[in-house]
């Protein structure tokens, strides 16, 4: 009850602060991943609010998740060994030509493109173009099926969706998102949520009871601990998200540094989410307006739902880590590294294994985690003769005049969609076109 009252106050207080940003409502659900127990549920800022239909429980409503659905997309691709955490993805102007749909040309939240981005930083900074590339690798039908397995009950016919699905193009319930993120928190096991543990009559006779130890044995394995470790590690890595969110944001919980978290804001700013977890707890928060009117441009992933999430996550973790919810609580905040996960140094630019040895790696390196059976190849410092537009020094585009084209030798990389990226050329200004569905030959892991 203490947590419930604290969460209700946090939602009401923080939503009131966002009045100038045209935010009218908020909602929250907090759960225990091991059992699916609902620790707190706040359906609106005030049950009696008339301006926002306060009696509507938004935790059970269908809303667009924005980028908060991206971890599921990346988890599927990592599971199927289509990418690793160091796979380079081209964050460049790109249009996707999907059969039967208008040309789709996504842009990042800041309206810019960021060049070659390895998966850790692409997900951590929530860049949109790399996420759409990963969904093209996965395939929409496979992704919808995987989302259902993770607990998202409202995503149905894959033909209804396009590649914007990974940016929140479908509608989900906060209730279901808590189940899905609980899979990451619970080392791959999905638990249904439970709100009532025991029913007694007025004499104290137990009419029905569910013991939490029994619940732990009823979950369904969806992912291996290795996959959830990799995804969770990206989402708790403050360095991996600092380029877009800064080093000090509401995504950092004071006293609890090992919390995995993902934000989400729809392009039209009608929904803003923050969902985070450790093995102790999952907290999913949402702010917006019940009538779907947009919020102002000042609301973002770290200024809307995040303050609510931060306050409640800190409160619930303070209790959980002290064993408040179960005597002898054996959870852990930092994801435990499974035996089938290994750490390797990779080249900072390419994400491939260094061409040299430890004493002379042959490239600037950084540390990364991998599945033992899915290591990247060695960097060969690939160079190619490529067509360059002399006037822009960029790779040539389809409309480059013949007289401006010159063949030059440059260091290059291919991303998993076989997009050629010149490492020492300016960032492209003209969009390339990728046709979807992909040819079968383009679906292999380019590492």
Q: What is the mean pLDDT of residues 282-304?
A: 86
pLDDT band at 267 (very low <50, low <70, confident <90, very high): confident
Report angle CA 88, 94, 95 to the nearest 5 degrees: 140
Tell me how far apart the alpha carbons of residues 196 and 95 are, in angstroms, rounded to a whole number.
49
Say if residue 59 is preceded by a cis peptide, omega within 30 of 0: no
pLDDT of the residue at 330: 59
DSSP string, 389-444: ETTT-SBP-TT--GGGEEEEEEEEEE-TT--EEETTSPPP-S-EEEEESPPGGGSS
pLDDT of the residue at 101: 87
Give the pLDDT confidence of 309-325 residue by residue, as tens digits.
999 999 999 998 888 88
Give yes or no for residue 133 having a pLDDT over 80. yes
pLDDT of the residue at 296: 86
71 Cβ neighbours under 8 A, 6+ residues apart = 123, 181, 184, 231, 235, 262
**The whole model's pTM is what?**
0.95
65 Cβ neighbours under 8 A, 6+ residues apart = 168, 170, 172, 177, 264, 271, 273
Q: What is the mean pLDDT of residues 229-239?
A: 97
Mean pLDDT, the chain, as a whole number?
A: 93
Domains and their CATH numbers in the chain: 2-320 (3.40.710.10)
Give yes or no for residue 148 having a pLDDT over 60. yes
Residue from 335, 322, 313, 327 nearest 31 by CA:
313
What distance lies between CA 267 and its chain's CA centroid? Answer: 16
pLDDT of the residue at 300: 64
What distance lies between CA 344 and its chain's CA centroid? Answer: 23
Give yes or no for residue 329 having a pLDDT over 90. no
């Amino acid at each position: 009850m203490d947590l419930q009252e604290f969460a209700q106050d946090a939602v009401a207080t923080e939503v009131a602060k966002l009045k100038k940003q045209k935010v009218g409502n908020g909602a929250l659900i907090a759960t225990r991943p091991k059992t699916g127990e609902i620790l707190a549920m706040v359906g609106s800022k005030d049950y009696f609010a008339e301006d926002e239909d306060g009696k509507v429980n938004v935790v059970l409503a269908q809303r667009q998740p924005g980028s908060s659905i991206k971890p599921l997309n990346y988890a599927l691709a990592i599971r199927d060994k289509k990418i690793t955490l160091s796979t380079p993805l081209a964050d460049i102007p790109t249009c996707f030509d999907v059969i039967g749909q208008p040309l789709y040309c996504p842009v990042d939240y800041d309206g810019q493109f960021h060049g070659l981005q390895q998966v850790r930083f692409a997900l951590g900074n929530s860049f949109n173009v790399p996420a759409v590339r990963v969904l093209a690798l996965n395939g929409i039908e496979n992704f919808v099926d995987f989302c259902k397995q993770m607990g998202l009950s409202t995503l149905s016919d894959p033909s209804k969706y396009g590649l914007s699905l990974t940016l929140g193009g479908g509608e989900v319930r906060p209730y279901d998102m808590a189940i899905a993120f609980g899979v990451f928190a619970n080392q791959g096991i999905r638990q249904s949520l439970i709100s009532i543990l025991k029913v007694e009559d007025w004499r104290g006779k137990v009419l029905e009871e569910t013991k939490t130890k029994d619940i732990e044995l009823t979950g369904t394995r969806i992912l291996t601990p290795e996959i959830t470790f990799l995804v969770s590690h990206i989402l708790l890595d403050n360095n991996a998200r600092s380029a877009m969110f800064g080093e000090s944001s509401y995504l950092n919980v004071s006293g609890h540094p090992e919390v995995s978290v993902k934000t989400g804001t729809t392009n039209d700013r009608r929904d803003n989410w923050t969902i985070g977890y450790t093995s102790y707890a999952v907290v999913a928060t949402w702010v917006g307006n019940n009538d779907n009117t947009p919020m102002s441009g000042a609301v973002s992933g770290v200024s809307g739902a995040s303050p609510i999430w931060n306050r409640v996550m800190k409160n619930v973790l303070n209790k959980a880590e002290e064993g408040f919810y179960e005597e002898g609580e054996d959870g852990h905040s930092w994801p435990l590294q499974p035996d089938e996960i290994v750490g390797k140094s990779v080249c900072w630019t390419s994400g491939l294994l260094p061409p040299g040895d430890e004493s002379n790696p042959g490239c600037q390196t950084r540390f990364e985690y991998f599945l033992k059976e899915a290591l990247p190849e060695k960097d060969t410092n690939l160079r190619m003769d490529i067509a360059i537009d002399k006037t822009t020094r960029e790779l040539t585009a389809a409309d480059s005049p013949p007289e401006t084209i010159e063949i030059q030798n440059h260091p290059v990389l291919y991303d998993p969609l076989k997009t050629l990226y010149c490492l020492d050329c300016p960032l492209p200004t003209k969009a390339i076109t990728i046709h979807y569905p992909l040819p079968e030959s383009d679906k292999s892991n380019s590492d």
